Structure 1
Protein backbone atom coordinates (compact mmCIF):
# COMPACT_ATOMS: atom_id res chain seq x y z
CA UNK A 1 0.00 0.00 0.00
CA UNK A 2 1.54 3.32 -0.94
CA UNK A 3 1.56 6.61 0.97
CA UNK A 4 -0.58 9.07 -1.02
CA UNK A 5 1.64 12.12 -0.64
CA UNK A 6 4.42 10.33 -2.48
CA UNK A 7 2.24 9.21 -5.37
CA UNK A 8 3.24 10.77 -8.68
CA UNK A 9 0.65 9.11 -10.90
CA UNK A 10 -2.62 7.97 -9.29
CA UNK A 11 -3.78 4.45 -9.93
CA UNK A 12 -6.32 4.31 -12.71
CA UNK A 13 -9.47 2.25 -12.17
CA UNK A 14 -10.44 -0.26 -14.78
CA UNK A 15 -13.08 0.95 -17.25
CA UNK A 16 -15.67 -1.31 -15.66
CA UNK A 17 -15.17 0.36 -12.27
CA UNK A 18 -15.32 3.99 -13.36
CA UNK A 19 -19.04 4.52 -12.82
CA UNK A 20 -19.57 2.10 -9.96
CA UNK A 21 -20.57 3.46 -6.57
CA UNK A 22 -18.27 2.99 -3.61
CA UNK A 23 -20.82 0.74 -1.99
CA UNK A 24 -21.05 -1.52 -5.04
CA UNK A 25 -17.27 -1.73 -5.25
CA UNK A 26 -17.00 -2.66 -1.58
CA UNK A 27 -19.55 -5.43 -2.01
CA UNK A 28 -17.63 -6.69 -5.01
CA UNK A 29 -14.42 -6.68 -3.00
CA UNK A 30 -16.16 -8.54 -0.17
CA UNK A 31 -17.12 -11.10 -2.80
CA UNK A 32 -13.49 -11.64 -3.74
CA UNK A 33 -12.84 -9.11 -6.51
CA UNK A 34 -9.49 -7.60 -5.52
CA UNK A 35 -9.54 -4.98 -8.26
CA UNK A 36 -12.51 -3.30 -6.60
CA UNK A 37 -10.34 -2.59 -3.55
CA UNK A 38 -7.72 -0.90 -5.72
CA UNK A 39 -10.36 1.42 -7.15
CA UNK A 40 -11.68 2.34 -3.69
CA UNK A 41 -8.14 2.97 -2.50
CA UNK A 42 -7.32 5.25 -5.41
CA UNK A 43 -10.53 7.22 -4.85
CA UNK A 44 -10.14 7.84 -1.13
CA UNK A 45 -6.52 7.37 -0.04
CA UNK A 46 -5.53 11.04 -0.22
CA UNK A 47 -8.54 12.35 1.70
CA UNK A 48 -8.04 9.77 4.46
CA UNK A 49 -4.33 10.53 4.67
CA UNK A 50 -4.92 14.29 4.94
CA UNK A 51 -7.53 13.74 7.65
CA UNK A 52 -5.14 11.61 9.70
CA UNK A 53 -2.09 13.77 9.03
CA UNK A 54 -3.78 16.97 10.19
CA UNK A 55 -4.50 15.25 13.50
CA UNK A 56 -1.18 13.50 14.23
CA UNK A 57 1.03 16.09 12.46
CA UNK A 58 3.78 13.56 11.76
CA UNK A 59 4.11 12.21 8.23
CA UNK A 60 5.51 8.79 9.18
CA UNK A 61 2.78 8.23 11.76
CA UNK A 62 0.12 9.30 9.27
CA UNK A 63 1.50 6.82 6.74
CA UNK A 64 1.30 4.00 9.29
CA UNK A 65 -2.22 4.92 10.34
CA UNK A 66 -3.32 5.10 6.72
CA UNK A 67 -2.21 1.51 6.24
CA UNK A 68 -3.98 0.50 9.46
CA UNK A 69 -7.21 2.03 8.18
CA UNK A 70 -7.07 0.17 4.86
CA UNK A 71 -6.09 -3.06 6.57
CA UNK A 72 -9.23 -2.56 8.68
CA UNK A 73 -11.26 -2.17 5.49
CA UNK A 74 -9.87 -5.49 4.29
CA UNK A 75 -10.45 -7.23 7.63
CA UNK A 76 -14.04 -6.04 7.86
CA UNK A 77 -14.97 -6.68 4.24
CA UNK A 78 -16.73 -9.96 5.05
CA UNK A 79 -19.15 -8.27 7.44
CA UNK A 80 -19.67 -5.10 5.39
CA UNK A 81 -23.30 -4.08 4.88
CA UNK A 82 -24.63 -1.03 3.08
CA UNK A 83 -26.10 0.78 6.08
CA UNK A 84 -24.51 4.14 5.21
CA UNK A 85 -22.27 5.63 2.56
CA UNK A 86 -18.98 3.78 2.18
CA UNK A 87 -17.17 7.09 2.75
CA UNK A 88 -18.90 7.48 6.13
CA UNK A 89 -17.92 3.94 7.10
CA UNK A 90 -14.35 4.52 5.93
CA UNK A 91 -13.91 7.73 7.91
CA UNK A 92 -15.46 6.08 10.94
CA UNK A 93 -12.67 3.51 10.76
CA UNK A 94 -10.13 6.31 10.35
CA UNK A 95 -11.52 8.27 13.29
CA UNK A 96 -11.54 5.22 15.56
CA UNK A 97 -7.97 4.28 14.64
CA UNK A 98 -6.89 7.87 15.22
CA UNK A 99 -8.51 8.01 18.65
CA UNK A 100 -6.82 4.73 19.62
CA UNK A 101 -3.48 6.12 18.56
CA UNK A 102 -3.86 9.44 20.37
CA UNK A 103 -4.89 7.68 23.58
CA UNK A 104 -1.55 5.87 23.70
CA UNK A 105 0.72 8.52 22.19
CA UNK A 106 3.21 10.08 24.59
CA UNK A 107 3.77 13.28 22.68
CA UNK A 108 3.20 14.88 19.31
CA UNK A 109 5.49 16.81 17.01
CA UNK A 110 4.52 20.24 15.73
CA UNK A 111 2.83 20.59 12.35
CA UNK A 112 5.17 21.16 9.43
CA UNK A 113 2.88 21.33 6.42
CA UNK A 114 4.22 21.49 2.89
CA UNK A 115 2.97 23.96 0.30
CA UNK A 116 0.88 21.20 -1.25
CA UNK A 117 -0.69 20.37 2.12
CA UNK A 118 -1.58 24.01 2.71
CA UNK A 119 -3.04 24.52 -0.75
CA UNK A 120 -4.99 21.29 -0.43
CA UNK A 121 -6.81 22.35 2.71
CA UNK A 122 -7.31 25.90 1.46
CA UNK A 123 -8.78 24.63 -1.82
CA UNK A 124 -11.05 22.23 0.06
CA UNK A 125 -12.35 24.97 2.33
CA UNK A 126 -12.66 27.45 -0.50
CA UNK A 127 -15.14 25.11 -2.16
CA UNK A 128 -17.41 25.58 0.85
CA UNK A 129 -19.40 28.66 -0.10
CA UNK A 130 -20.66 29.04 3.47
CA UNK A 131 -17.22 29.67 4.93
CA UNK A 132 -16.99 33.36 4.10
CA UNK A 133 -13.50 34.87 4.41
CA UNK A 134 -11.70 31.57 3.85
CA UNK A 135 -12.67 31.79 0.20
CA UNK A 136 -10.46 34.85 -0.04
CA UNK A 137 -7.32 33.07 1.18
CA UNK A 138 -4.70 33.08 -1.54
CA UNK A 139 -1.21 33.76 -0.21
CA UNK A 140 1.08 31.31 1.54
CA UNK A 141 0.91 33.48 4.66
CA UNK A 142 -2.85 33.22 4.72
CA UNK A 143 -2.73 29.48 4.09
CA UNK A 144 -0.27 29.04 6.95
CA UNK A 145 -2.59 31.03 9.22
CA UNK A 146 -5.47 28.74 8.31
CA UNK A 147 -3.43 25.61 9.01
CA UNK A 148 -2.35 27.04 12.37
CA UNK A 149 -5.93 27.95 13.25
CA UNK A 150 -7.17 24.43 12.48
CA UNK A 151 -4.36 22.98 14.59
CA UNK A 152 -5.41 25.09 17.58
CA UNK A 153 -8.97 23.79 17.60
CA UNK A 154 -9.89 21.41 20.45
CA UNK A 155 -9.61 17.79 19.30
CA UNK A 156 -13.36 17.12 19.05
CA UNK A 157 -13.98 20.32 17.09
CA UNK A 158 -11.01 19.68 14.82
CA UNK A 159 -12.23 16.17 14.08
CA UNK A 160 -15.71 17.41 13.20
CA UNK A 161 -14.30 20.16 11.00
CA UNK A 162 -11.82 17.90 9.18
CA UNK A 163 -14.40 15.16 8.66
CA UNK A 164 -16.44 17.73 6.79
CA UNK A 165 -13.53 19.50 5.02
CA UNK A 166 -11.51 16.40 4.10
CA UNK A 167 -14.11 13.64 4.31
CA UNK A 168 -16.97 15.60 2.75
CA UNK A 169 -19.29 14.26 5.46
CA UNK A 170 -22.55 15.86 6.50
CA UNK A 171 -23.48 16.54 10.11
CA UNK A 172 -25.37 13.26 10.54
CA UNK A 173 -22.45 11.35 9.02
CA UNK A 174 -20.00 13.16 11.33
CA UNK A 175 -22.18 12.18 14.28
CA UNK A 176 -22.15 8.56 13.14
CA UNK A 177 -18.40 8.53 12.55
CA UNK A 178 -17.58 9.99 15.96
CA UNK A 179 -20.29 8.21 17.95
CA UNK A 180 -22.13 11.29 19.18
CA UNK A 181 -25.59 12.75 18.71
CA UNK A 182 -26.55 14.91 15.75
CA UNK A 183 -26.82 17.99 17.99
CA UNK A 184 -23.39 17.37 19.51
CA UNK A 185 -21.79 17.02 16.09
CA UNK A 186 -23.59 20.13 14.87
CA UNK A 187 -22.45 22.06 17.94
CA UNK A 188 -18.81 20.99 17.54
CA UNK A 189 -18.84 22.02 13.91
CA UNK A 190 -20.45 25.36 14.71
CA UNK A 191 -17.89 26.15 17.42
CA UNK A 192 -15.03 25.13 15.13
CA UNK A 193 -16.23 27.40 12.36
CA UNK A 194 -16.80 30.29 14.76
CA UNK A 195 -13.30 29.90 16.16
CA UNK A 196 -11.72 29.79 12.71
CA UNK A 197 -13.64 32.84 11.57
CA UNK A 198 -12.48 34.74 14.62
CA UNK A 199 -8.84 33.74 14.12
CA UNK A 200 -8.97 34.64 10.42
CA UNK A 201 -10.73 38.00 10.77
CA UNK A 202 -7.74 39.92 9.44
CA UNK A 203 -8.16 38.16 6.09
CA UNK A 204 -11.84 38.99 5.73
CA UNK A 205 -12.68 41.15 2.69
Structure 2
Protein backbone atom coordinates (compact mmCIF):
# COMPACT_ATOMS: atom_id res chain seq x y z
CA UNK A 1 0.00 0.00 0.00
CA UNK A 2 2.89 2.32 0.73
CA UNK A 3 4.24 1.65 -2.78
CA UNK A 4 0.83 2.46 -4.24
CA UNK A 5 0.67 5.66 -2.18
CA UNK A 6 4.07 6.56 -3.66
CA UNK A 7 2.61 6.26 -7.17
CA UNK A 8 3.05 2.61 -8.19
CA UNK A 9 -0.03 1.47 -10.11
CA UNK A 10 1.45 -2.04 -10.19
CA UNK A 11 1.42 -2.12 -6.37
CA UNK A 12 -2.33 -1.45 -6.40
CA UNK A 13 -2.84 -4.18 -8.96
CA UNK A 14 -1.00 -6.66 -6.72
CA UNK A 15 -3.13 -5.65 -3.70
CA UNK A 16 -6.33 -5.85 -5.70
CA UNK A 17 -5.56 -9.27 -7.18
CA UNK A 18 -4.59 -10.67 -3.79
CA UNK A 19 -7.69 -9.47 -1.97
CA UNK A 20 -10.45 -9.24 -4.58
CA UNK A 21 -11.85 -12.78 -4.20
CA UNK A 22 -11.95 -12.99 -0.41
CA UNK A 23 -13.23 -9.42 -0.04
CA UNK A 24 -15.99 -9.95 -2.57
CA UNK A 25 -17.05 -13.20 -0.86
CA UNK A 26 -17.10 -11.35 2.46
CA UNK A 27 -19.71 -8.95 1.10
CA UNK A 28 -21.72 -11.66 -0.66
CA UNK A 29 -21.88 -13.71 2.55
CA UNK A 30 -22.94 -10.72 4.64
CA UNK A 31 -25.43 -9.01 2.32
CA UNK A 32 -28.50 -10.71 0.81
CA UNK A 33 -28.61 -8.39 -2.19
CA UNK A 34 -25.99 -9.30 -4.83
CA UNK A 35 -26.07 -5.82 -6.39
CA UNK A 36 -25.61 -4.17 -3.00
CA UNK A 37 -22.70 -6.51 -2.23
CA UNK A 38 -21.06 -5.46 -5.51
CA UNK A 39 -21.67 -1.78 -4.76
CA UNK A 40 -20.14 -2.04 -1.28
CA UNK A 41 -17.22 -4.01 -2.71
CA UNK A 42 -16.54 -1.26 -5.26
CA UNK A 43 -16.99 1.42 -2.60
CA UNK A 44 -14.36 -0.30 -0.46
CA UNK A 45 -11.78 -0.16 -3.27
CA UNK A 46 -12.77 3.43 -3.98
CA UNK A 47 -12.05 4.31 -0.36
CA UNK A 48 -8.71 2.49 -0.53
CA UNK A 49 -7.76 4.60 -3.55
CA UNK A 50 -8.88 7.85 -1.90
CA UNK A 51 -7.02 7.03 1.33
CA UNK A 52 -3.76 6.05 -0.36
CA UNK A 53 -2.03 9.34 0.32
CA UNK A 54 -2.92 9.27 4.03
CA UNK A 55 -2.43 5.53 4.63
CA UNK A 56 -0.39 4.72 7.73
CA UNK A 57 1.01 1.32 8.63
CA UNK A 58 -0.61 1.20 12.07
CA UNK A 59 -2.28 -2.08 11.09
CA UNK A 60 -1.78 -4.81 8.53
CA UNK A 61 -3.25 -3.86 5.13
CA UNK A 62 -5.71 -6.78 5.28
CA UNK A 63 -7.01 -5.63 8.66
CA UNK A 64 -7.34 -2.05 7.39
CA UNK A 65 -9.13 -3.22 4.23
CA UNK A 66 -11.66 -5.33 6.13
CA UNK A 67 -12.18 -2.54 8.63
CA UNK A 68 -13.32 -0.35 5.72
CA UNK A 69 -15.60 -3.16 4.50
CA UNK A 70 -16.97 -3.73 8.00
CA UNK A 71 -17.74 -0.04 8.42
CA UNK A 72 -19.57 0.07 5.08
CA UNK A 73 -21.75 -2.87 6.15
CA UNK A 74 -22.45 -1.23 9.52
CA UNK A 75 -23.38 2.03 7.76
CA UNK A 76 -25.72 0.09 5.48
CA UNK A 77 -27.34 -1.75 8.40
CA UNK A 78 -27.93 1.50 10.25
CA UNK A 79 -29.50 3.03 7.15
CA UNK A 80 -31.72 0.06 6.29
CA UNK A 81 -33.00 -1.41 9.54
CA UNK A 82 -34.05 -4.12 10.32
CA UNK A 83 -30.91 -6.19 10.49
CA UNK A 84 -32.56 -9.21 8.88
CA UNK A 85 -31.33 -8.02 5.49
CA UNK A 86 -28.24 -10.14 6.05
CA UNK A 87 -27.93 -13.29 4.03
CA UNK A 88 -27.46 -16.95 4.56
CA UNK A 89 -23.98 -18.34 4.17
CA UNK A 90 -22.28 -21.36 2.72
CA UNK A 91 -23.91 -21.13 -0.69
CA UNK A 92 -23.20 -24.26 -2.69
CA UNK A 93 -20.06 -23.75 -4.74
CA UNK A 94 -20.82 -26.53 -7.20
CA UNK A 95 -23.71 -27.99 -9.15
CA UNK A 96 -24.90 -30.78 -6.88
CA UNK A 97 -26.98 -32.45 -9.62
CA UNK A 98 -23.86 -33.06 -11.67
CA UNK A 99 -22.34 -34.94 -8.74
CA UNK A 100 -25.28 -37.11 -7.74
CA UNK A 101 -24.25 -40.73 -7.81
CA UNK A 102 -26.46 -43.32 -9.43
CA UNK A 103 -26.63 -45.74 -6.53
CA UNK A 104 -29.08 -45.16 -3.68
CA UNK A 105 -26.53 -45.08 -0.86
CA UNK A 106 -24.58 -42.21 -2.39
CA UNK A 107 -27.81 -40.41 -3.27
CA UNK A 108 -29.12 -40.76 0.28
CA UNK A 109 -25.79 -39.58 1.72
CA UNK A 110 -25.80 -36.58 -0.63
CA UNK A 111 -29.38 -35.70 0.30
CA UNK A 112 -28.53 -36.01 3.98
CA UNK A 113 -25.52 -33.71 3.52
CA UNK A 114 -27.67 -31.19 1.64
CA UNK A 115 -30.25 -31.31 4.41
CA UNK A 116 -27.55 -30.67 7.02
CA UNK A 117 -26.10 -27.81 4.94
CA UNK A 118 -29.56 -26.23 4.65
CA UNK A 119 -30.00 -26.50 8.41
CA UNK A 120 -26.63 -24.86 8.98
CA UNK A 121 -27.45 -22.07 6.50
CA UNK A 122 -30.62 -21.29 8.38
CA UNK A 123 -28.86 -21.34 11.73
CA UNK A 124 -26.05 -19.04 10.54
CA UNK A 125 -28.63 -16.66 9.07
CA UNK A 126 -30.31 -16.46 12.49
CA UNK A 127 -27.16 -15.58 14.42
CA UNK A 128 -26.94 -12.03 15.77
CA UNK A 129 -25.07 -9.94 13.20
CA UNK A 130 -21.94 -9.42 15.33
CA UNK A 131 -21.65 -13.17 15.95
CA UNK A 132 -22.30 -13.97 12.29
CA UNK A 133 -19.60 -11.57 11.15
CA UNK A 134 -17.05 -12.88 13.67
CA UNK A 135 -17.90 -16.47 12.72
CA UNK A 136 -17.59 -15.81 8.97
CA UNK A 137 -14.33 -13.92 9.31
CA UNK A 138 -12.96 -16.74 11.43
CA UNK A 139 -14.19 -19.71 9.39
CA UNK A 140 -14.22 -18.41 5.83
CA UNK A 141 -11.37 -15.96 5.91
CA UNK A 142 -9.25 -17.76 8.50
CA UNK A 143 -8.76 -14.58 10.54
CA UNK A 144 -7.70 -14.83 14.17
CA UNK A 145 -9.77 -13.30 16.96
CA UNK A 146 -7.21 -10.48 17.25
CA UNK A 147 -7.57 -9.51 13.60
CA UNK A 148 -11.37 -9.75 13.79
CA UNK A 149 -11.29 -7.51 16.87
CA UNK A 150 -9.31 -4.90 14.92
CA UNK A 151 -11.71 -5.12 11.97
CA UNK A 152 -14.86 -4.86 14.11
CA UNK A 153 -13.43 -2.28 16.52
CA UNK A 154 -14.15 -4.57 19.46
CA UNK A 155 -12.03 -5.87 22.30
CA UNK A 156 -10.25 -9.18 21.91
CA UNK A 157 -12.34 -10.70 24.72
CA UNK A 158 -15.60 -9.51 23.15
CA UNK A 159 -14.53 -10.98 19.82
CA UNK A 160 -13.60 -14.31 21.38
CA UNK A 161 -16.99 -14.35 23.08
CA UNK A 162 -18.77 -13.60 19.80
CA UNK A 163 -16.98 -16.49 18.10
CA UNK A 164 -17.61 -18.83 21.03
CA UNK A 165 -21.31 -17.89 21.24
CA UNK A 166 -21.66 -18.25 17.48
CA UNK A 167 -20.31 -21.80 17.59
CA UNK A 168 -22.44 -22.64 20.63
CA UNK A 169 -25.55 -21.13 19.05
CA UNK A 170 -24.94 -22.95 15.78
CA UNK A 171 -24.46 -26.28 17.55
CA UNK A 172 -27.65 -25.85 19.57
CA UNK A 173 -29.63 -24.66 16.54
CA UNK A 174 -28.45 -27.46 14.27
CA UNK A 175 -29.03 -30.09 16.97
CA UNK A 176 -32.53 -28.78 17.63
CA UNK A 177 -33.47 -28.51 13.95
CA UNK A 178 -31.89 -31.86 13.15
CA UNK A 179 -33.88 -33.58 15.89
CA UNK A 180 -37.04 -31.88 14.64
CA UNK A 181 -36.35 -32.84 11.03
CA UNK A 182 -35.62 -36.46 11.85
CA UNK A 183 -38.95 -36.80 13.67
CA UNK A 184 -41.00 -35.50 10.73
TM-score, normalization by structure 1: 0.69
Is 1:65 the counterpart of 2:49? The answer is: no
| Map of 2:158 onto structure 1 | 184
**Paired residues, number:** 160
Distance across 1 between alignment mates of 2:41 and 2:87:
18
Following the alignment from structure 1 to structure 2, what is the Cα–Cα distance between the partners of residues 55 and 63? 12
Task: Give the C-alpha shift of residue 168 in structure 1.
Answer: 2.5
What is the 5 A alignment of 1:1-205?
Answer: 26-105=1-80, 111=87, 114-116=91-93, 139-201=113-175, 202=178
The answer as to whether partners of 2:29 and 2:88 remain within 8 angstroms in 1 is: no
Instruction: Evaluate the alpha carbon distance shift between residue 118 and residue 188 of structure 1 in structure 2; reply closer, same or farther with a 3 A threshold.
Output: farther
Query: Could you tell me how far apart the structure 2 residues matched to 1:199 and 1:158 are?
Result: 14
Bigger Cα Rg:
2
SS of residue matched to 2:93: helix
How far, CA to CA, are the matches of 2:93 and 2:31 in structure 1? 17
| Aligned CA-pair RMSD | 2.6
| Aligned 8 A contact 1:151 1:158 in 2 | yes
CA distance in 2 between partners of 1:145 and 1:118 (Å): 19
Q: Can you give the 5+ residue segments of structure 1 that lack an aligned partner in the other structure?
A: 1-25, 120-137
Residue-by-residue CA offset, 1:94-151 (whole Å, 9 max, x unaligned): 10011001111156657477522899xxxxxxxxxxxxxxxxxx93333222222211
Task: Kindly provide the CA deviation profile for residues 20-51 of structure 1, in whole angstroms up to 9, marking residues without a partner as x.
Answer: xxxxxx11111111122122112212211222
Residues 88 and 125 in structure 2, CA contact (< 8 A), matched pair in contact too: no
Q: TM-score, normalised by structure 2?
A: 0.76
Structure 2: which 5+ runs fail to align?
97-111, 180-184
Residues 41-68 of structure 1, C-alpha deviations (whole Å, 9 max, x = no match): 1221221122222222111110000001
